[in-house]
Structure 1
Amino acid sequence: MSAESTPEPGIPGDSGTNGPRDRAKGRRRKPRSEHRKALILMAWTAAGILVLGGTGVGYLYFKLNGNIKSVDINQALGSDRPTKVDNGSENILVLGSDSRSGSNRKLGGGADDGSARSDTAMIVHVYKGHKSASVVSIPRDTLVDRPQCTDAKGGTHDAATAVMFNSAYSTGGAACAVKTVESVTGLRMDHYLEVDFSGFQKLIDELGGVPVTTTKDIDDKQSHLTLKAGTHTLNGRQALGLVRTRHGVGDGSDLGRIQLQQAFIKALVTQVKQVGIFTSPKKLYDLADTATRAVTTDSDLGSVDSLMSFAGGLQGIGSSRMHMVTMPVQYDPADPNRVIIDKAKAQQVWDALRKDLPIPPNATKGTASGEAKGVVTAS
């Protein structure tokens, strides 16, 4: 097979691009180069800073820099980790956390005790060339063997057998969550991104909402979400309710919630690409301010420059180039509220990602699902 006819990885069954497209007659507008796009972004950012009337570009640049919280994952985990595969791909562990402190208290529920859990966990595998990605959601109710780990403050936490996956984060924070994912998958996590509840809600509001279509009514008092079947532009509160709901649709399981999360993420990616942030310098800055406040990263991404470079490398991945699956699991025979890893099928997923190949369809066939697929789509 020639280089021109090789399909891009990440989307099973995709035929890719086979040969050049026919060009229309007449002059074509020359596409902007990546360098030009970067210059436009920098220009609008500078313009936004001037409009806001701060004390100069340097001040607000450092303000954004100061918003970002980071964790030195590499130092905490040391050298006892899977080998980094040098094939041009990247693995990013993305967590959504429901902190019980500060502004997250009323969103996450419970007492203001400063505790936090990983409510959402996804491995984002970006294929070589950064034109497509596979996203593997890890159910928080999955029973795993949690390895011994050292948190970012140097504290050591004992190993534990058959505990819920999200206990890794609540036990030892980001470093222990990464250690557990690497132990389960055998894959090296190149980066870590964490988004908190309140930041997520504000970010959606800054974007002006996200359009979605629901094919069924959703009514979940626990997540405070009520939606009739139809088309909606979800504000931040509604979007947060959607990605957290599990009792309003499907079988009431965490697996159903994951299906809703995956559908919403595709709608969000589409909205980010369509929203006119370049027409408003203030909007661009407000989004940057909210986004940098919302995230915790590994130390390699812990600066505005690094985050901009990282995000710029992913901007070519649209929702149609994202293949989203749930880690292969089965319901635990001893407890229907828990799931266990289908090790044979899960290994097919990890092997494919390690080799930078598409996830084979058979890897997720016959596994447990949440019966909420297709309930939410991008509008």
Structure 2
Amino acid sequence: MSDPWDGPAGQATRSRGTPVPGQRGAEPDGTRPPGGRSASRARGGPRSRRRPAGRGRRFLKITGICLSVLIVVTAGAGWWFYQHLNGNIHSVSLDGKGGTEKADAFGRTPINILVMGSDGRTSAKDCKLGGGCAKTGVQTGSNADVQMVLHISADRSNATVMSIPRDTMTEVPACKDSESGQSTAGYYGQINSALQYGPACQVATVHRLTGIPIDHFVKLDFSGVVKMSDAVGGVSVCVSDDVYDTYSHLKLSKGTHTLKGVAALEFVRSRHGFGDGSDLGRTISQHIFLSAMIRKFKSAGTLTDPTAVYDLADAATKALTVDDGLGSVNKLIALADDVNKVPTERITFATMQTAPDPADSDRVVVGAGARSLFSTIADDQPLTTGSGKKSAAASATAKATATASAVPAARITVTVENGTRITGRASAVAAALAGKGFSPGTTTANAPSAATTTTLTYGAGRKPEAQTVAKALGLPSSHLEQGTGAGLTLVIGGDWPSGNSYPGGSSSPAPADTKAAVGGAHASTADQAKTCAKVSPYKTVSLDGVAMTPAQAYAAARNKPDSDA
């Protein structure tokens, strides 16, 4: 190893012909005159310039001390930097509420992280950025208006980011916030409201809806988005037309823009400016923003500039609330490294498929195809091939699953009966169904008589629903039979004495049916740099009390500066 200053370590190098300080020149006859230095002086010869050995030793000693101080100071600065970043991080325990990941055949485990964007106005800064505090002032609660499940495969070759619209109706389980003490016995409501009972409750709710094990979470608030976008030097996005969302205040002309700070926040918050003016359109524009940010992270220079790295690390640790499994700089660095390993063409963005809520047209429920998307993520199956193309539709088994998934689990009610002599079997399986997003109307009872074999009986026209239930529980199709009743009745037999999945079912998941998993999910990949956010063609905004399209509002607000001005 070479020393950066003096060539080979421990050796001082000088150019030829340069005298070493204190070196004697040779006498004419090549011999040293007798009598030493005093004799030489007596003869009137030149005075020797050799430095005393003591002075050389003092010089080396001083140099060594200086180097030691430099090393100590440098190490101390690094330690301070590390401790400073660790001190920025706010972490919360998940208490195992998100389930547990299963290792693959090589002992590797995937990573599933719930990324949450909070709408909380819990500080004066967030009140200023988010608005809405004029009458209430600084608030205490918050909702998870952004929810994305980030899945990184066990082999780190691919990743999926699935957004869950905030207006999704689902079952929120019993929860208690470890920090605020606020609790709930559970209820049926809008999915984003679970954050009021703490991040762990939001994780548990998403896990219950999707069946996907979630072992980590990351939460950002309004100011966090501003800090992160500033730290990366801005994010480049494209809009398909002039847009002015009078609610989020995003105002941009048609084309490509680099957004920082408040402008970036306005973009990711805009729901009236894009798509159909609902939260569904917003998830797509958020995917465009995140894809651009990922490309920025991976671009040359972003992570090699020490100043940029420090600013990014400082901003990230200040902006994020994470679970205690990510609660250190080293763990966050390891996570960033895992994400960095995945090529952009193999990072798939998708939005959970939805259907209108029969009880409220302004809300949605899990739609056709969503169960295929959930199971693809839970089973650690990729949505792209090694070349970045969408995976081919799979086998007939997967196609049958896609057909069954056409019936949303949230609409399926099952009567679970215990045909064993084991107390609590029906309740355990019913709870497993609830955890997979099936209707809270599912009931339990004792079977009229003991049953040797587990059977799922369905009424006329209810076979697709029965197939959905069977898929969720790993129950072979040979255990399904049509009965005379109207609904679905699952009798737990002696062949299923324990566990939430039928024993002897398929030990490996069926190949992913990508067509069903991403159908209607607005799928895209992170390498699609030329994709523009589609500005809404509908009258989704209002200016001076007049309803108009975002493009019309842009034209009517000429005096208002653009967000990136």
TM-score range, shorter chain: 0.7 to 0.9
Aligned partner of 2:227 among 179, 202, 223: 202
Task: Give 1:310-321 correspondences, 5 Å limit.
Answer: 310-321=335-346
Paired residue for 1:357? 381
Selected match of 2:120 from 99, 104, 114? 99
Which residue, 81, 88, 102 being the options, matches 1:85?
A: 102
Runs of 4+ displaced beyond 3 Å: 52-55, 153-156, 277-280, 366-369
Matched, 1:64 2:85: yes
1:228–1:53 distance in 2 versus 1, CA, 3 Å: farther
Match of 1:127 among 126, 129, 153: 153
Deviation of 1:249 after TM superposition, in Å, equals 2.6
Counterpart residue type for residue 268 of structure 1: M
- Does 1:240 find its partner at 2:265? yes
Shift of 1:201: 0.8
Q: CA deviation at 1:62?
A: 0.7
The one of 227, 230, 236 equivalent to 2:252 is: 227
Indicate the residue corresponding to 1:7 in structure 2.
Answer: none
CA RMSD of aligned residues (A): 2.5
- Cα offset for 1:258? 0.5
* More deviation, 201-210/149-158: 149-158
Residues 219 and 282 of structure 1: CA distance in aligned 2, closer, same or farther (over 3 Å): same
Distance 2:532 2:330 in 1: 38
Preserved CA contact (<8 Å) 1:136 1:325: yes
Secondary structure in 2 aligned to 1:73?
A: coil
Deviations 1:62-81 (A, max 9, x none): 11100000011126x4xxx6
Counterpart code for 1:104 = D
In structure 2, relative to structure 1, the CA distance for the partners of 1:349 and 1:178 (3 Å cut) is same
**Contact 2:296-2:302 within 8 A present in 1 as well:** no
TM-score (norm 2): 0.53
- 8 A contact 1:270–1:318 mirrored in 2: no
Answer 1 or 2: which has greater helix percent: 1
User: Which residue number corresponds to residue 167 of structure 2?
Assistant: 141
1:337 aligns with 2:362: yes
CA distance in 2: counterparts of 1:82 and 1:55, whole angstroms: 40
Please say if residues 267 and 319 of structure 1, whose CA atoms lie closer than 8 Å, have aligned partners that are also in contact.
no
Does residue 185 of the first structure (1) align with residue 210 of the second (2)? yes
Shift of the 362–156 alpha-carbon distance from structure 1 to 2, 3 Å rule, reads: same
> What is the aligned-residue identity percentage?
40
The residue identity in structure 2 corresponding to 1:109 is G
Q: Report if the CA contact (8 A) 1:140-1:166 is conserved.
A: yes
Deviation at 1:231, TM superposition (A): 1.4
Tell me, which stretches of 5 or more residues in structure 2 are unaligned? 1-70, 384-513, 524-529, 535-565
Ranked by relative contact order (alpha carbons within 8 Å, sequence separation 6 or more), the top structure is 1
Deviations along 1:270-320, one digit per CA (max 9) or x if unpaired, are 111126245532222111111100111110110111111121122122432
1:73 maps onto 2:98 in alignment: no
Q: In structure 2, how many angstroms separate the alpha carbons of the residues matched to 1:133 and 1:368?
A: 16
Give the Cα–Cα distance (whole angstroms) in 1 for the partners of residues 226 and 143 of structure 2: 17
State the TM-score, normalizing by the size of structure 1. 0.78
Please tell me whether the aligned partners of residues 54 and 60 of structure 1 are also in contact (alpha carbons under 8 angstroms). Answer: no
Aligned residues: 317
Alignment pair present for 1:158 and 2:185:
yes
Distance in 2, matches of 1:292 and 1:275, equals 23
SS in 1 for 2:292: helix
Residues 269 and 318, structure 1, Cα contact 8 Å, conserved in 2: no
Relative to 1, partners in 2 of residues 1:175 and 1:279: Cα closer, same or farther, differing over 3 Å?
A: closer
